[in-house]
């Protein structure tokens, strides 16, 4: 099924390499530049190490580390030197790449952004993390939705970032837009290990979609990221799994053609179809209503939990961040 981790690639396969990148310490612009050079070198290493590889994926925080530093002088832009070097690395090595940046936001806190670049150096997907890991992360909530793009060998790709994957709605949205492979990049540390594994597998099975997920790895002297690269098949089974070895590239082949076959041919447990066609044995075409109160309330702007008044953590002050003074969509004062 997996062709020895992608060494024996099938005609319809997509070989993915997940880089368990060593967690860096970033304090200056020069540190950012050096880390960008390392990422570029790892793109070349991935290509040298496996000629069949289609896509190399770097974790969240690969460039900036886990400092949560929002100083403008270390942040990135889409037309800046770091992204330019990533694009050139993909073009020069004829490989697709997935990269992480902390993106300058003139209207507020930085965005935690991800890019998918094709093997000509073109940006094919641009995403801003929808669900920052509050209260720890200071990033502006994303405003680009969950984009999907055409990927290598005719596949359809989506990208979500770290905490996003704990919300089943994120994977469902990616699949609903046609994604056959969902990437999840992260900086998670060891306490999240169990939740990481079960959500990666559940996101795959519940949406008949391959998932490929990777964390930063090793210690920066304060934090220990866990690595734990995982590639899951569309039925939730594990195709490949990494460990805690920094800079290891974990590989596997996934088969988008088999994803398409399952989505078209499965009856039992074709859950993403059945969500909008409830009970189609009893009623023609199934029920297509929305019986879920939380969906209706969220869309109407009235989402409120029964225990909302009892929620104690509502801002980032417990992690040293000030109480924000603007509403979502408003500009910084």
Tens digits of per-residue pLDDT, 151-166?
999 999 999 999 999 9
pTM over 0.75: yes
Give the number of other CB atoms < 10 A from CB of residue 160.
29
Q: Which of 60, 82, 140, 173 is catalytic?
A: 60
Angstrom distances, CA of residue 174 to CA of 53, 70, 179, 223 = 23, 29, 5, 31
The superfamily in CATH containing domain 3-268 is Carbon-nitrogen hydrolase (3.60.110.10)
pLDDT of residue 330: 75
Is 82 in the active site?
no
**Intra-chain end-to-end CA distance of the chain, in Å:** 55
Q: Give residues with Cβ within 8 angstroms of 317, minimum separation 6.
A: 135, 323
State the average pLDDT over residues 24-46.
98
Q: Which of 76, 90, 98, 162 is catalytic?
A: 162
pLDDT above 70: residue 104: yes
Is 177 in the active site?
no
Percentage of the chain modeled with pLDDT above 70: 99
Is 129 in the active site?
yes
pLDDT of residue 14: 98
Tens digits of per-residue pLDDT, 219-258?
999 999 999 999 999 999 999 999 999 999 999 999 999 9
φ/ψ (deg, to 5) at 137: -100, 140
Delimit the domains of the chain by residue range: 3-268
Beta bridge partners of 127: 114
pLDDT above 70: residue 333: no
Q: Which of 9, 129, 173, 228 is catalytic?
A: 129
Whether 161 contacts 183, CB under 8 Å: no
**Which residue has tokens 């099924």?**
1
């Amino acid at each position: 099924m997996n062709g020895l981790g992608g060494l024996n690639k099938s005609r319809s396969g997509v070989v993915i390499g997940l880089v368990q990148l060593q967690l860096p310490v970033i304090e200056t612009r020069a540190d950012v530049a050096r880390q960008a050079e390392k990422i570029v070198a790892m793109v070349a290493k991935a290509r040298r190490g496996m000629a069949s590889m289609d896509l190399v994926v770097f974790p969240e925080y690969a460039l900036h580390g886990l400092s949560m530093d929002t100083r403008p002088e270390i942040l990135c832009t889409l037309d800046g030197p770091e992204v330019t070097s990533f694009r050139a690395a993909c073009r020069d090595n004829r490989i697709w790449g997935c990269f992480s940046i902390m993106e300058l936001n003139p209207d507020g806190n930085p965005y935690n952004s991800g890019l998918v670049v094709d093997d000509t150096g073109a940006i094919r997907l641009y995403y801003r993390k929808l669900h920052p890991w509050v209260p720890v992360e200071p990033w502006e909530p994303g405003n680009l939705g969950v984009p999907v793009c055409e990927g290598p060998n005719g596949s359809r790709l989506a990208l979500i970032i770290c905490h996003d994957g704990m919300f089943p709605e994120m994977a469902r949205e990616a699949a609903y837009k046609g994604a056959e492979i969902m990437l999840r990049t992260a900086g998670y540390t060891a306490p999240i290990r169990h939740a990481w594994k079960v959500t990666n597998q559940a996101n795959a099975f519940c949406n008949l979609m391959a998932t490929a997920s990777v964390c930063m790895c090793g210690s920066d002297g304060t934090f220990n990221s866990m690595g734990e690269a995982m590639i899951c098949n569309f039925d939730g089974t594990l195709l490949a799994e990494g460990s805690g070895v920094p800079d290891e590239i974990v590989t596997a082949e996934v088969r988008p053609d088999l994803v398409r076959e399952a989505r078209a041919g499965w009856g039992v447990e074709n859950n993403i179809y059945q969500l909008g066609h409830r009970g189609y044995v009893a009623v023609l075409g199934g029920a297509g209503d929305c019986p879920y109160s939380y969906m209706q309330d969220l869309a109407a702007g009235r989402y409120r939990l029964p225990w909302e008044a009892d929620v104690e953590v509502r801002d980032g002050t417990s992690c040293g961040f000030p109480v924000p003074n603007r509403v979502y969509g408003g500009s910084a004062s």
